[in-house]
Structure 1
Amino acid sequence: MQWLMVIISLLAGVALAFQAGINGDLGKKIGLVEAAFVSFSIGAIVLFLAMIFMGKGNILQLMSVPKWQLTGGILGAFIVLSMVLSVPKIGVAITIVSIIAGQLITSMILDSTGMFSGRQIQFDLNRMLAVFLIGIALYLIYKN
């Protein structure tokens, strides 16, 4: 089952690269904030339909969750808007590698504290090397 999650995550990475390019191009045509809004609106409609037909949770519990757990939408809007802003100026590759670098560093900090997953994963030499290598990748892609 874990390999399936890796494949799904890789496909999400493919989708993220396409999304960045599509939204960046859309932003040039209709406006930056407008493109982010359209992208989020279409995504919200798709997720609404998925919730109706496939959802197994209880949306009515929304009012009882800690309010900080509702910030995911704000963070998602920031991510989409940052891609719309960045892609036309620096390209898809640099934008995505920069996002990955930010994700990698932050996720390692979260893992080392056990925040969200509850499972603490130490920041070791291998993880430090991974951060270093993503930094090299960013430099090499940006250098061109």
Structure 2
Amino acid sequence: MNWMMMLVVLLGGGATAVQAGVNGALGRKVGTIEGAFTSFLIGTVALFLIMMFLGKGNVLQIVSLPKWQLTGGLLGALYVIGMVFAVPKIGVASSMVAVIAGQLLTSTILDHFGVMSGKPIPIDWQRVLGIVLLAAALFLFYKK
């Protein structure tokens, strides 16, 4: 296993938890949609600057891509709006457990059919057990 990549992804997961809290606070001050817009605007400017100085690809290639590959921004907007809306109501931890549960369930189905990777990874009892345990974690985190 590539431990460096695992560490990068682990740090990314930590960043999403902090991002959820930051965006939740932002949404309380300026509104849900306005908070999500502000978050994406600042992220867009940051990515534009990073692309200008460090980018090695060709952004103009987007015109030749299958249209479904351009939906990532819409899906990201749905995520950010959901977190801006949920965090003030149920907290960062419950929101993150729900996000992780949704990610795990959806990615397990995608893997089973090989939808994004092209390589099917069948659902087995260990994956089902992981989903069940995560559902239990969601219940325990959200339970008042």
How far apart, in 2, do the equivalents of 1:107 and 1:56 lie?
A: 29
User: What is the count of residue pairs matched by the alignment?
Assistant: 144
Q: Secondary structure at the match of 1:139?
A: helix
How far apart, in 1, do the equivalents of 2:13 and 2:89 lie?
A: 21
Letter of the 1:65 counterpart: L
Aligned to 2:130: 130
Letter of the 2:77 counterpart: A
Q: TM-score, normalised by structure 2?
A: 0.96
1:29 aligns with 2:29: yes
Q: Secondary structure at the match of 1:136?
A: helix
1:65 aligns with 2:61: no
How far apart, in 2, do the equivalents of 1:57 and 1:118 lie?
A: 24
Letter of the 2:97 counterpart: V
How far apart, in 1, do the equivalents of 2:76 and 2:101 lie?
A: 17
1:93 aligns with 2:93: yes
- Mark the runs of 5 or more structure 2 residues left unpaired by the alignment: none
- Mark the runs of 5 or more structure 1 residues left unpaired by the alignment: none
Q: Secondary structure at the match of 1:120?
A: coil
Aligned to 2:56: 56
Aligned to 2:17: 17
Aligned to 1:78: 78
Deviation, structure 1 residue 102:
0.3
Q: Secondary structure at the match of 2:122?
A: coil
Deviation, structure 1 residue 26:
0.8
How far apart, in 1, do the equivalents of 2:55 and 2:117 lie?
A: 22
Deviation, structure 1 residue 57:
1.2
1:88-117 Cα distance to aligned partner (Å, 9 max, x none): 111111110000000000000111111111
Q: TM-score, normalised by structure 1?
A: 0.96
Q: Secondary structure at the match of 1:53?
A: helix
How far apart, in 2, do the equivalents of 1:132 and 1:49 lie?
A: 42
Deviation, structure 1 residue 56:
1.5
Aligned to 1:104: 104
